[in-house]
Chains A and B, each alone.
Chain A
């Protein structure tokens, strides 16, 4: 049972020791906990932030796109209405008047005046025969007799019957739009009535859209030529610097990047019966400026939150790991002490048993030898008395030696007997030193002391603490060479402990020796020592609630430091 307990304790101790001696384990554990806690806390936060960001952006985009789409739709209808009214007017005149009437300049001028009165935007009006010659003309330019066979619009109107041209310069070298209507008389004669429109009215319609600063709107034809002036992308008849995305007759909003790498919303729709489209543009940064401001604030709060969470996680984990490590160390210490006590206890019982078994026959030897000496003493004529006396003395000396050994062993077993009294440690130390003064003098070893004068008296077992001092002083005396030095010091360490140090300039110890010096039966004195002295010392100091430390360097010396509690802990453990 005891073996099982001992094995289990050793196994636990080995596991714990390997854990405590491996800081990597705690680092790994720390990293794992930090990662896990950070993951658990930050992942939902990150997901929430990401989802919120994209949802908000989409909502914002939808909120921006819808009004833009409606705006373009309305303006498109305005353009279509404007052009449809003027096309109808031209078409009506072409139908209502004969070519003969229209070929008369005065008639044409009169009709043109009525048109201008009824409809804004007309610049001039002309009648063109099938050969492309302008027969009559009413307007500010001198364009009579001009031939239009080379003009694109002329071919288009021949083909389509009614045609609204793109904006072009033409003979007058001024941007304008042509509305042309082909008419065929009953006798098969074909002619074309052509009116031109000032593009200024297009600008008015665009201006009436009420665009926000930074926004833009313009007409552009299928080839990307601007039909009206753009705030951002050029003047009339300049090329649009980027390709217009696919557009149809319904107002549609798209996101794209312009020639200057600006993100823009573009709403566009073709104007009915024309080859050009109305486009309105809102730059994204303008649209999202509020959102960007909020986003920066949110980002700041988010980053601050993440840092705060991370710091809290790191701090908490560090505290947790440190507590765990301390707890492991305390457990290891407790197990070590328990194991040590168990060892000492077993050794104590063994020593007591062995001492008893040896002491009885030793007592017989002692008495028999003593009797022989007595008898010889009573008979002066005893033959070879001196020789026998020497033999008997040798026996008695051996008995004494054995008695010393068994008494030391029993001293070890005795250490459980404790009597606590209030002691002046300085006195105990000096009293103990007195045992060794004769040897120190003989060997010329200097004993120096630096004892704190007001060292508080502490509750302690006199015999045990004296044994501790004696064991350490004996070791120090054994370690120093003749003429060496042993230095004693005491001090008031703190509110809980007093300190005692015994320093020698002797042979010192290797790290291996220092590590094992408190183990039972570990000795460097060979047959001269039992190997129990420092083990007993360690056990006593621990039992009294103190600490003992050793600092040693080979060939330089050793310092043993003991801390003893000011209040008794005996019986508490």
Chain B
């Protein structure tokens, strides 16, 4: 698995969290861009379509689910992994319905995240899983 070639976008309003996560991924050879809100995430996607977007559900301004819908409309190939602090809540279930690939709960286990990223990249795009 050539992780250096992965194109990942991390979206979360928690700057400390998302920047540290990006740094840890980078230490493992995964190139991950970051965005701190919905608007900048969409802009980043428009500029460079990521293979996988890791998206926080609860964000100020544009909500994660709105971002998900917009991304899936414009870039159906981009897989989205939802991040939630609330587990399998209604938002998570709804996100899956909108085409999210998976949802994960904070705090993350980095190995689990990397495994899920790999699965998302290698997945048949029509078969999301929870």
The residues of A with any CB-CB pair to B shorter than 8 Å are 352, 355-360, 362-368, 370-371, 374-375, 378, 399, 403, 407, 410-411, 413-414, 417
Which residue of chain B has its CB nearest to the CB of A374? B27
| B87 at interface, CB cutoff 8 A | yes
B 9-49 to A, binary, CB cutoff 8 A, 1 in contact else 0: 00000101100110110010000000000000000000000
**6 sample A-B contacts, Cβ–Cβ < 8 Å, listed by A number:** A358-B85, A363-B85, A363-B106, A364-B17, A367-B24, A375-B27
Please state if A413 and B17 are interface contacts (CB–CB under 8 Å). no
Q: How far is the CA of A366 from the CA of B16 in the complex (A)?
A: 11
Q: Identify which of residues 92-123 in chain B touch chain A, using a CB-to-CB cut-off of 8 Å.
A: 93, 105-108, 110
Please state if B108 and A371 are interface contacts (CB–CB under 8 Å). no
CB distance from A479 to the nearest CB of B (A): 29
Partner of A364, one of B14, B23, B105: B14
CB distance from A498 to the nearest CB of B (A): 28
Partner of B105, one of A352, A359, A375: A359
Which residue of chain B has its CB nearest to the CB of A352? B86
Please state if B107 and A365 are interface contacts (CB–CB under 8 Å). yes
Please state if A360 and B23 are interface contacts (CB–CB under 8 Å). no
Partner of A403, one of B84, B93, B107: B107
Partner of B20, one of A358, A364, A417: A364
CB distance from B27 to the nearest CB of A (A): 5
Once A365-B107, A378-B27 are accepted as A-B contacts, the answer to whether A355 and B86 lie under 8 Å apart by CB is yes
- Cβ contacts under 8 Å, A407 to chain B: 87, 105
Which residue of chain B has its CB nearest to the CB of A400? B107
Please state if A414 and B24 are interface contacts (CB–CB under 8 Å). no
Q: How far is the CA of A356 from the CA of B106 in the complex (A)?
A: 9
Please state if A368 and B16 are interface contacts (CB–CB under 8 Å). yes
- Cβ contacts under 8 Å, B21 to chain A: 367
Once A367-B17, A367-B21, A399-B107 are accepted as A-B contacts, the answer to whether A359 and B85 lie under 8 Å apart by CB is yes
Q: How far is the CA of A399 from the CA of B106 in the complex (A)?
A: 11
> How would you classify the secondary structure of chain A's contact residues: helix, strand, loop or mixed?
helix
| B125 at interface, CB cutoff 8 A | no
Which one of B17, B20, B85, B107 has the greatest number of beta carbons of chain A within 10 Å? Answer: B107
Q: How far is the CA of A360 from the CA of B21 in the complex (A)?
A: 13
Q: How far is the CA of A93 from the CA of B93 in the complex (A)?
A: 145
- Cβ contacts under 8 Å, A410 to chain B: 86-89, 105
Please state if B17 and A363 are interface contacts (CB–CB under 8 Å). yes
Please state if B24 and A413 are interface contacts (CB–CB under 8 Å). no
Partner of B85, one of A355, A370, A375, A414: A355
CB distance from B115 to the nearest CB of A (A): 15
Once A359-B85, A363-B107 are accepted as A-B contacts, the answer to whether A374 and B17 lie under 8 Å apart by CB is no
Q: How far is the CA of A362 from the CA of B107 in the complex (A)?
A: 6
Which residue of chain A has its CB nearest to the CB of B87? A410
- Cβ contacts under 8 Å, B86 to chain A: 352, 355-356, 359, 410, 413
Please state if B107 and A368 are interface contacts (CB–CB under 8 Å). no
Q: How far is the CA of A8 from the CA of B86 in the complex (A)?
A: 32
Q: How far is the CA of A352 from the CA of B105 in the complex (A)?
A: 13
Q: How far is the CA of A413 from the CA of B110 in the complex (A)?
A: 25
Q: How far is the CA of A14 from the CA of B58 in the complex (A)?
A: 42
Which one of B24, B58, B87, B89 has the greatest number of beta carbons of chain A within 10 Å? Answer: B87
- Cβ contacts under 8 Å, A371 to chain B: 20, 23-24, 27
- Cβ contacts under 8 Å, B24 to chain A: 367, 370-371, 374
Q: How far is the CA of A407 from the CA of B110 in the complex (A)?
A: 18
- Cβ contacts under 8 Å, B93 to chain A: 417
Q: How far is the CA of A375 from the CA of B24 in the complex (A)?
A: 9
Partner of B88, one of A374, A399, A417: A417
Partner of A370, one of B16, B84, B105, B110: B110
Q: Which 4 A-B pairs have the closest CB atoms?
A: A359-B85, A366-B107, A356-B85, A410-B87
Q: How far is the CA of A144 from the CA of B63 in the complex (A)?
A: 157
CB distance from A297 to the nearest CB of B (A): 80
Q: How far is the CA of A414 from the CA of B16 in the complex (A)?
A: 28
CB distance from B96 to the nearest CB of A (A): 12
Once A359-B107, A364-B14, A378-B27 are accepted as A-B contacts, the answer to whether A413 and B87 lie under 8 Å apart by CB is yes
- Cβ contacts under 8 Å, B107 to chain A: 359, 362-363, 365-367, 399, 403
- Cβ contacts under 8 Å, B89 to chain A: 352, 410, 413-414
Please state if B20 and A360 are interface contacts (CB–CB under 8 Å). no
- Cβ contacts under 8 Å, A378 to chain B: 27
CB distance from B84 to the nearest CB of A (A): 8
Please state if A356 and B14 are interface contacts (CB–CB under 8 Å). no
CB distance from A532 to the nearest CB of B (A): 15
Q: How far is the CA of A356 from the CA of B93 in the complex (A)?
A: 16
- Cβ contacts under 8 Å, B16 to chain A: 364, 367-368
Please state if A360 and B87 are interface contacts (CB–CB under 8 Å). no
Which residue of chain B has its CB nearest to the CB of A407? B87
Which residue of chain B has its CB nearest to the CB of A356? B85
Q: How far is the CA of A471 from the CA of B125 in the complex (A)?
A: 39
Which residue of chain B has its CB nearest to the CB of A410? B87
Q: How far is the CA of A367 from the CA of B105 in the complex (A)?
A: 13
| Given A359-B107, A363-B108, A413-B86, 9 further pairs, Cβ under 8 A | A352-B86, A359-B85, A360-B17, A367-B17, A368-B16, A370-B24, A410-B87, A414-B89, A417-B88
